[in-house]
Amino acid sequence: MSVTTLTSGVSWPGIRPWLGTLVRLGLAAVWLFAGAAKVGDLAGSGRAVNAYQVMPFEVAKVIGAALPFVEIALGVLLVVGLATRAAAAISAALLLVFIAGISSAWARGLSIDCGCFGSGGQLAAGQSPSYAPEIARDIGFLVLAAFLLVWPRTRLSIDRWLEGTNE
């Protein structure tokens, strides 16, 4: 049995595109959900970005207003499998920024909700932030993006159709 063959006889090269499809659709769902949760309240998204206290309020408002549309665009690209490697690279970069932002808020003793899936901002008195689970979650999403950076060819994608290999 070769090194690339799993115990069930299924080879890694054979299963990788299908696993990649699940990874691609999973990451797409994350971006679509995150963007949809914020797009109805762009001012709230701006306040959530501002709560990190790393940029002037006017800049935070613009970034907060743009972020849901970037997330939705990434989700759509990943759902259809178009420019998968580029979408994965942008996803990874964005996730690294999110991880750095949450880590920075934690290190500076801020008491905020990350705003990752809507609302966000300062927590009410007596509420405790949950930074460690948020960072762990984003690291998990980063692993998905890294998978797609290494293996962007997935089944049922426009990328494969454009290559003429969408079997």
Backbone phi, then psi, for 8, in 5-degree steps? -85, 0
Considering the domain boundaries, does residue 7 fall inside one?
no
Considering the domain boundaries, does residue 2 fall inside one?
no
Indicate the pTM of the whole model. Answer: 0.90
**How large is the C-alpha radius of gyration of the chain?**
18
Considering the domain boundaries, does residue 6 fall inside one?
no
**How confident is the model at residue 2, as a pLDDT?**
52
Considering the domain boundaries, does residue 27 fall inside one?
yes
Considering the domain boundaries, does residue 4 fall inside one?
no
Of residues 92 and 118, more confidently modeled: 92
Per the structure, the count of domains in the chain is: 1
Considering the domain boundaries, does residue 5 fall inside one?
no
Considering the domain boundaries, does residue 102 fall inside one?
yes
Alpha-helical segments (H) within the chain: 12-39, 42-50, 57-80, 84-107, 131-150, 158-163
Considering the domain boundaries, does residue 66 fall inside one?
yes
Task: Render pLDDT for 59-108 as a digit per residue (tens, 0 to 9).
Answer: 999 999 999 999 999 999 999 999 999 999 999 999 999 999 999 999 99
What is the span of the domain harbouring residue 87?
Answer: 14-163
